[in-house]
Structures are given as structure tokens and as C-alpha cells.
């Protein structure tokens, strides 16, 4: 039975951010991790994401996420060298494989694979951060005016999800006591027993849906234009985070336009575009992206700062 959101309310600074600010933050992080391919930039991004997760008290959940993502990262690290035979530094030539020919494993392709694995880990970390700081309810509340019916569908389905898992559990017990042995029988029979339960739940829930619709109708749903009830606060901290994120994004765009931040892997080993001019730009971007975590730390240790922002 699942009756808790993945999100847990901890009441920390990161969770008090206005969803518009935190969503912008997440979106900027996502765009940048996909845009940058330069190893230094990616490592820097990873650091600032982990810093934010730390500020959101989510390091424990992050470990779980990393375990989950590691398998996929390894897969990417294996497929990349196999798929690409370009690169100057050949480490090993495979024997003639049927249909594929001779594959060359190069240092560049291994390096690229490792970096893509890192990119995946960062993306997963960003979503971990998302799960730590954005309450589902507040997200649904932010759903644009255009999508009010879909927002209602998602909201109702979300509310029903724990009800459904609990019902499945209950029906399982009832079936068990009517002599259904879920362990016995052929695979087909065992599946059938589970699916019968699912069918019972389906029929009952479809019956209930009429009453839900009636309750919505009785509260004037669909009687004309509808307004949204807003209850999120926009504090100075949200403005600060928003500005710093957008600044970071702007600088990053400029850098990308200038050819910084990307890395051409197969053109030669060790050729870093931009060289040392990367450093100040990188520092600016990462500084902007780390501001929420820094503010959080500051607010925790300085009451005056907390009350001002």
C-alpha cells in the first residue's frame, strides 16, 4: 500500500520557495546539463545540484536515486565505446563480429561514454532535487490556466491512487479468504487470479466514478468560466533565486554561443576549447545556480537574513 507522496514536507528553506521559482531553477538546471558537454561544466553542475539537494535535506533520497541510475549509466558507458570506433587512441580491436565488423575501442569513446554517464547521473539528481522541493499539490496549482480540466483529472487521479492501491490490498485479502491461493497453479492461473482482482476494482471504481462526477456537478463544476484559488507566497527569496537562475542561464547561453562549455570529443585528445577563459564564466554560472542553497544555509544560520528574505 502506498499512501504517501514521494515528496515529504520538511519545512526547510528550499521547500518554502514559490513553485514558479523552484520550477525555473529545475528547468534551467535541466537545459544546462543537456546543453553542456564540457566535463568541467558537467562536474560543476553536479556539485551545485548536490549542494542544493543537501540544502533540501535530501541526501539520503539521493543515494537511492543514484543506485537506481547507476545501472543505466553503466549501460551508456558500455554502449558508447561499442557504437563509436572513431578517435585516435585505439586501445583494443575486437575480432570480426558477425554483422558489426571489427570494432575499435578508443580512449575518446570511453571518455565520452563516461561523461554521458555522468550527464545521466546529473539529470537524475536534478529530478531527485525536484522531488525534494516541489509539493505535488503546489505544482498542480500552478498548472497554467489553459489546462484546468487536465489539472483536475491529474488531481483526482492522484487522490485516487492511494485509494486504489489500498483497495487492491483489501480485495486480495477477501480473495484469499475465499480460497484463492495466489502462489498455486500455473503461471497463467496465477496471473488470472491477480487480474480477477484488478477486474473487481475496475468495476467498482467505474461505479463510483458516477458519484464523484455528481459531487463535482453539485459544486457547480462546468457551470461556466472558472478561477483558480492561489495561495502561494512570493517572497524576496523567490525573486533572488529567480534572478540568479536566469542570470546563470543568460551567461551560459552566451558561453555556448561563444563555443565554450562544449567539448568535441573525437577531434583530438585534451583539446579544451576556450582554455582558461572557461574559469570565470563557469564560476559565474555555478555561483548563480548555487545561490538557493547558499541562501538556505544563510537563513539557517542567521535569523536576521531569514526574516529579511
Q: Would you say 82 or 247 has its CB closer to another protein?
A: 82
User: Alpha-carbon distance 101 to 202, whole Å?
Assistant: 52
Candidate residues 94, 226, 243, 302; the one interacting with another protein per rule CB under 8 A? 226
- Asked if residue 161 binds another protein (CB under 8 A), the reply is yes
For 151, other C-beta atoms within 10 Å of its C-beta total 18
User: Alpha-carbon distance 309 to 302, whole Å?
Assistant: 11
- What are the φ and ψ backbone dihedral angles of 101, each rounded to 5 degrees? 80, -160
Candidate residues 47, 66, 105, 123; the one interacting with another protein per rule CB under 8 A? 123
Sign of the CA dihedral 126, 80, 105, 109?
negative
Q: Would you say 25 or 65 has its CB closer to another protein?
A: 65
Q: Which residues pair with 105 in a beta bridge?
A: 92
Minimal distance, residue 284 CB to another protein, in Å: 19
Q: Would you say 147 or 269 has its CB closer to another protein?
A: 147
Minimal distance, residue 20 CB to another protein, in Å: 17
Minimal distance, residue 308 CB to another protein, in Å: 25
Candidate residues 92, 95, 98, 223; the one interacting with another protein per rule CB under 8 A? 223
Q: Would you say 54 or 194 has its CB closer to another protein?
A: 194
- Select from 42-50, 70-78, 236-244, 286-294 the region that touches another protein (CB under 8 A): 70-78
- Asked if residue 176 binds another protein (CB under 8 A), the reply is yes
Phi-psi region of 220 (alpha: psi -120 to 50; beta: other; left: phi over 0): left
Binding residues among 28-57 for another protein as defined by CB under 8 A: 31, 34-35, 37
For 85, other C-beta atoms within 10 Å of its C-beta total 17
- Asked if residue 93 binds another protein (CB under 8 A), the reply is no
Candidate residues 10, 91, 102, 173; the one interacting with another protein per rule CB under 8 A? 173
Candidate residues 102, 195, 239, 279; the one interacting with another protein per rule CB under 8 A? 195
* Cα atoms in the Cβ-side hemisphere of radius 13 Å centred on 256: 15
Nearest residue to 234 via CA among 9, 20, 15: 20
- Asked if residue 203 binds another protein (CB under 8 A), the reply is yes
Q: Would you say 8 or 277 has its CB closer to another protein?
A: 8
| Distances, alpha carbon 91 to alpha carbons 103, 110, 114, 268, in Å | 11, 10, 16, 15
Minimal distance, residue 281 CB to another protein, in Å: 15
Binding residues among 229-288 for another protein as defined by CB under 8 A: 229-231, 256-257, 259, 262, 264-265
- Asked if residue 67 binds another protein (CB under 8 A), the reply is no
Q: Tell me the H-state helices in the chain.
A: 13-16, 19-35, 39-55, 59-83, 107-133, 136-142, 148-177, 187-218, 236-257, 278-301, 303-308
Amino acid at each position: 500500500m502506498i499512501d504517501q507522496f514521494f515528496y515529504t514536507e520538511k519545512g526547510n528553506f528550499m521547500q518554502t520557495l514559490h513553485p514558479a521559482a523552484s520550477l525555473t531553477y529545475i528547468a534551467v538546471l535541466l537545459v544546462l546539463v543537456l546543453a553542456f558537454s564540457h566535463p568541467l561544466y558537467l562536474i560543476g553542475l553536479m556539485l551545485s545540484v548536490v549542494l542544493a539537494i543537501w540544502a533540501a535535506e535530501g541526501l539520503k533520497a539521493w543515494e537511492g536515486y543514484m543506485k537506481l541510475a547507476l545501472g543505466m549509466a553503466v549501460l551508456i558507458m558500455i554502449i558508447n565505446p561499442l557504437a563509436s570506433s572513431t578517435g585516435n587512441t585505439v586501445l583494443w580491436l575486437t575480432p570480426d563480429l558477425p554483422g558489426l565488423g571489427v570494432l575499435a575501442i578508443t580512449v575518446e569513446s570511453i571518455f565520452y561514454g563516461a561523461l554521458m554517464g555522468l550527464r545521466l547521473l546529473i539529470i537524475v539528481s536534478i529530478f531527485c532535487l525536484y522531488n525534494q522541493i516541489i509539493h505535488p499539490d503546489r505544482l498542480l496549482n500552478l498548472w497554467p490556466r489553459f489546462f484546468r480540466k487536465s489539472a483536475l483529472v491529474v488531481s483526482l487521479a492522484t487522490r485516487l491512487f492511494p485509494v486504489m492501491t489500498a483497495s487492491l490490498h483489501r480485495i486480495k485479502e477477501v480473495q484469499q479468504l475465499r480460497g484463492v491461493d495466489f502462489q498455486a497453479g500455473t503461471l497463467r492461473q496465477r496471473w488470472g487470479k491477480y487480474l480477477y482482482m484488478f477486474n473487481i476494482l475496475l468495476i467498482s471504481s467505474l461505479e463510483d466514478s458516477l458519484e464523484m462526477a455528481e459531487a463535482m456537478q453539485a459544486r457547480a463544476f462546468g457551470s461556466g468560466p472558472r478561477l483558480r484559488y492561489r495561495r502561494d507566497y512570493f517572497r524576496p527569496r523567490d525573486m533572488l533565486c529567480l534572478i540568479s537562475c536566469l542570470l546563470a542561464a543568460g551567461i551560459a547561453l552566451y558561453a555556448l554561443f561563444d563555443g565554450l562549455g562544449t567539448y568535441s570529443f573525437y577531434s583530438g585528445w585534451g583539446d579544451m576549447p576556450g582554455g582558461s577563459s572557461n574559469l570565470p564564466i563557469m564560476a559565474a554560472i555555478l555561483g548563480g545556480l548555487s545561490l538557493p542553497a547558499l541562501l538556505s544555509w544563510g537563513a539557517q544560520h542567521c535569523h536576521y537574513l531569514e526574516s529579511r528574505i
